[in-house]
Amino acid sequence: MQEWSQQDIEEAISGEEKTILIYLYTPMCGTCQMAGKMLAVTEQLLPGQKMGKADLNYMPLLAEKWGVESVPCLLIFRKGTLHEKLYAFRSVPYLLDKIRSID
């Protein structure tokens, strides 16, 4: 999964893609490392899905803007609007079902 800057995030949200996934994490978070591995598998299974990740330590204003309470957090944007925040990743099949149900 590609690391996105704040500019990358803003461009992705305002772009033409219907659904955008942004994974927020911190490097020292063990749960984030596990969630990142699940998302890496999910990304391979959904090759057309636009998704990126960002270290929340460098995005405090975006975290405040979107009301992010903790990490790991998967932000799901639908047509440029925050649709859902996921904090419990559970499993790869759960993530796949959740993402596929949005479209």
User: What number of residues does the chain have?
Assistant: 103
- State pTM to two decimals: 0.94
Supply the DSSP string of 41-65, one letter for each residue.
HHHHH-TT-EEEEEEGGG-HHHHHH
**Dihedral, 11, 101, 71, 75 alpha carbons, nearest 10:** 20
pLDDT of residue 103: 66
25, 56 Cβ separation under 8 angstroms: yes
pLDDT in tens, the chain (103 residues): 999 999 999 999 998 889 999 999 999 999 999 999 999 999 999 999 999 999 999 999 999 999 999 999 999 999 999 999 999 999 999 999 999 998 6
